[in-house]
Amino acid sequence: MEGIGINVPGLVAQLICFFILFGLLSVLFYKPIRRILDERSERIRVSMEQAEQIKEQMAKTEEQVREQLEDARRGGQNVLAQAAQMGERLKEEARGEARHEAEIIIARARTEIERERDEAIDELRHQFVDLAILAAEKVVSETLDREKHRRLIEEVLEQAPGGRGDGGSSKKEG
């Protein structure tokens, strides 16, 4: 082999050195580096598992938050609906009270109108009686007993249709 330029004893020495160096590097560096890489791989795997668990917990937490927000939204809508119903009920109660008060005022007004009408009718009667007595005095040309004639005319008016003698039915029914 020397003819092709290969030195066999140098090649053997280099091969022996290579295998010694390879053995030393394997024992001294390869196994510790392999162990360090395995430990690092294990830490990465554990970290990835923890990250996956954290991700799952985040998803659960987000779902719980979403449910709580939905519950709060529904609760808020219920409160608004109840407030609207209460407002409507208060409006109806106020309307009812206003109607009741209006009915009371109308009833009082009717009573007052009837009283005033009765007073006006009585006043007209008295005036009519006075005019009738005055007319009778002029016709007869002598003074008559006013009280006696007043009672007589009032009796006639009470017995007349539409007078007070029919139990006050001349009042218009309201």
Structural domain including 140 reads 9-161
Q: What's the number of domains the chain is made of? A: 1
Cα 129 to its chain centre, rounded Å, is 69
Note whether residue 127 is domain-resident: yes
Cα 90 to its chain centre, rounded Å, is 12
Sequence-distant (≥ 6) Cβ neighbours of residue 143 within 8 angstroms: 137
Q: What is the 3-state secondary structure (H, E, C) of 113-144?
A: HHHHHHHHHHHHHHHHHHHHHHHHHHHHCCCC
Note whether residue 166 is domain-resident: no
Sign of CA dihedral 29, 30, 32, 38: positive
Note whether residue 146 is domain-resident: yes
Note whether residue 4 is domain-resident: no
pLDDT tens for each residue of the chain, 174 residues long: 667 778 888 889 999 999 999 888 888 888 888 899 999 999 999 999 999 999 999 999 999 999 999 999 999 999 999 999 999 999 999 999 999 999 999 999 999 999 999 999 888 888 888 877 777 776 665 555 777 777 777 877 777 666 554 444 444 443
Note whether residue 2 is domain-resident: no
Note whether residue 132 is domain-resident: yes
